[in-house]
């Protein structure tokens, strides 16, 4: 996987709720060609591969769905944070070439809800891949629980950075006992403070953490209650438990596209 990853011009551990321009160059949107609104989100992990949920890929059509990279303000072109801070580079649009869903994905339990989408032309400018944890990072999250679900919502023009708190799986299972049975490859988080933002439209968006001045992706937003309140959990795909599958699949895809 790409070692030149996770760099941002901002190094503060506590992030503002509104993402800043250039702050999240790994965010990806999926939309249908006849529509301007997106239906799912994801993250760039190499110059050719996007990570998202398996559920999201059910709506992705190869060589037709639009993959949008380098976006910031969905209502402006070019993107500007202020009168003097703009991104003159255009957004990047690609078509999906390959879609690989985890072979043990279960759409009734959301187990292994993870997939890779590739495009056949590499990305060489304007964006950057996110870092993935090659070793388990959950212990760090437990002892220093500063993580953010970064995503676009239907009501906001720029990405929101929602601070989340890790929840032990046993606690999460008790709270979601009527909804699903959690599995090893899933982690849970809840809002760290009360916010008037719904993140249920952010399927495929990343749970992020700063580590040694770089940004790592801990999870992928998989499932949450439509009317989730302050202390109700969201379930994420645990990146650490799927890192071997990600690495092996990227290597396989790169081998077939040489």
Question: Per residue in 18-42, pLDDT tens?
Answer: 889 889 999 999 999 888 788 999 9
Residue 237: which of 200, 183, 193 has the closest Cα? 183
| Strand-strand pairing, 27-31 and 160-167 | unpaired
Both 78 and 110 in one domain: the answer is yes
Residue 35, pLDDT score? 81
Is residue 84 one of the residues assigned to a domain? yes
Both 220 and 252 in one domain: the answer is no
Q: Give yes or no for a contact between 96 and 62, defined as CB atoms under 8 angstroms apart.
A: yes
Q: Which residues contact 34 (CB under 8 A, 6 or more apart)?
A: none
Is residue 154 one of the residues assigned to a domain? yes
In percent, the amount of the chain with pLDDT more than 70 equals: 85
Is residue 7 one of the residues assigned to a domain? no
Residue 141, pLDDT score? 58
Is residue 89 one of the residues assigned to a domain? yes
Dmax of the chain from CA atoms?
51
The model's pLDDT over 90-134, given as tens digits with 9 standing for 90+, comes to 789 999 999 999 999 998 889 999 999 999 788 876 799 999 987
Tokens 């916010």, residue located: 195
Kindly state the helix (H) or strand (E) to which residue 244 belongs, with its residue range. Answer: helix 243-256
Both 31 and 124 in one domain: the answer is yes
Residue 243, pLDDT score? 93
How is residue 19 written in tokens?
A: 């993402």
- Using DSSP, how many helices (H) and how many strands (E) does the chain show? 4, 15
Separation in Å, CA 12 to CA 15, 82, 131, 138, 212: 6, 20, 17, 21, 11
Residue 228, pLDDT score? 57
Both 229 and 102 in one domain: the answer is no
How is residue 158 written in tokens?
A: 């720029």
Pick the residue with more confidence: 239 or 154?
Answer: 239
Q: Count the domains in the chain.
A: 2
| Strand-strand pairing, 38-44 and 27-31 | antiparallel
Residue 206, pLDDT score? 97
Residue 87, pLDDT score? 60
Domain coverage including residue 231 = 147-240
Both 251 and 211 in one domain: the answer is no
Over residues 170-184, the mean pLDDT reads 89
Is residue 59 one of the residues assigned to a domain? yes
Half-sphere exposure of 110 (CA within 13 A, CB side): 20
């Amino acid at each position: 996987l790409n070692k030149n990853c996770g760099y941002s011009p901002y190094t503060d551990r506590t992030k503002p709720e509104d993402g800043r321009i250039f702050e999240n160059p790994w965010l990806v949107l999926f939309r249908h060609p006849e529509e301007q609104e997106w239906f799912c989100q994801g993250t760039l992990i190499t110059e050719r591969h996007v990570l998202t949920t398996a559920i999201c890929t059910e709506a992705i059509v190869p060589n037709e769905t639009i993959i949008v990279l380098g976006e910031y303000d969905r209502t402006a072109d070019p993107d500007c944070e202020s009168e003097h801070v703009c991104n003159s580079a255009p957004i990047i649009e690609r078509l999906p070439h390959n879609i690989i869903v985890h072979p043990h994905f279960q759409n009734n339990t959301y187990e292994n809800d993870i997939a890779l989408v590739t495009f056949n032309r590499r990305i060489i400018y304007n964006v950057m891949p996110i870092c993935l944890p090659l070793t388990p990072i959950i212990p760090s999250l437990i002892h220093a629980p500063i993580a953010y679900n970064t995503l676009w919502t239907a009501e906001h023009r720029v990405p929101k950075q929602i601070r989340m708190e890790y929840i032990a799986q046993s606690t999460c299972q008790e709270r979601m006992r009527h909804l699903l049975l959690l599995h090893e490859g899933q982690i849970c988080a809840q809002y760290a403070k009360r916010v008037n933002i719904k993140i249920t439209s952010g399927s495929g968006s990343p749970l992020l953490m700063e580590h040694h001045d770089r940004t790592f992706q801990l999870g992928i937003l998989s499932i949450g209650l439509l009317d989730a309140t302050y202390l109700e959990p969201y379930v994420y795909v645990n990146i650490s438990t799927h890192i071997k599958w990600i690495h092996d699949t990227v290597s396989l895809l790169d081998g077939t596209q040489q």
